[in-house]
Structure 1
Amino acid sequence: MNFPSKLIEDAVNEISRLPGIGKKTALRLTLHLLKQPESSSQSLSHAIVKLRTEVRYCIICHNISDQEICSICSSHRRDKSLICIVEDIPDVLAIENTAQYNGLYHVLGGVISPIQGIGPDELKIDSLLHRIDTAAADDKVQEVILALSATMEGDTTSFFITRKLNERGIKVSTISRGIPIGGELEFTDEVTLGRSILTRISYNAE
């Protein structure tokens, strides 16, 4: 692809690094930015810099937050006896958009995958167990929902966590398999995902 300016070429190359964006789409976005007021580009760059330098992660659930503790964990309207375990942050957003769940979350940051060298120690499993073990009497966890993708890695992670939670007498359930096997949670439609949360079933590690 030939570019009339090295500046445009550099912008296209950087934008095309984003997932799902090819060189042609990056070029269209670059030319669009050139047609907008300079203040629009400055606002965009300022927002991106603030995102990278100021974003925080909740010290309790590891979700994205503006504060030390996210708005979900600090909310008095949430059912603190219920924790939904998800693989990553997009899964939290997907479940929240269903408006069918009122408990808390715990973001693992991935799933167990020996092929990729990801074991339990690389995930936020220890912090989940510490969170459950140190919860105040009024906030004691009664049930954990496993909302992991229906893949071999997701099932392996669910099995491992269930064994740990069974030792603590915690009820473990998993979202209904309305989600297709091999499907990713963040790409599931809201109706199916919401029904899966409402019709969750018990998960047995034996």
Structure 2
Amino acid sequence: MAIELPPLPYERSALEPHISAETVDFHHGKHQRAYVDRLNELITGTPFAEMALEDIVRGAQGAMFNNAAQAWNHAFYWQCLRPAAGGGGGEPTGALAEAIDKAFGGVEALRTQFDELALRTFGSGWVWLVQRAEGGLALAATANAATPLTGSDKPLLACDVWEHAYYIDYRNARAKYLEAFWNVVNWDFAASNM
């Protein structure tokens, strides 16, 4: 069973002006595709060839893990975004908003802490809003391909802070990319993961 590159849940230009179609083309069409293609090469002829992507991530090591985790992280990331015209950005509601208030003291405090963590994350990686095993929310940063999927935290929301996620649009200005991210964040998706 080959791992497929999932289609985007919106048109490639739908995140503009916050994230350009050119960035989406490179990020989804080149970077994520490369992880999927390389993973398919690596799993051919192994017991992993019949596994679901999540199971490969949880069981693989080395290059196979890196490519599987990046394929999964990216598929998750695209779901974390929603065009501003289609309801992206704004504020969370319901149980997610209550959990954010309890854990962080409100959405603005969450955003501040999330951005600070993203700016402190050295090199390439990811910043996550996660739900801990006991139910509370927390933030986590992972380096390179690492993902909460391999631990006990349940990922709710992710922001890719590898330079390929923002360099075309914002060059090395990660802070500007984070501003853009909040304009297209998909709170409904985050809530659905609780």
* TM-score, length basis structure 2: 0.24
* TM-score, length basis structure 1: 0.23
The structure in which a higher percent of residues are helix is 2
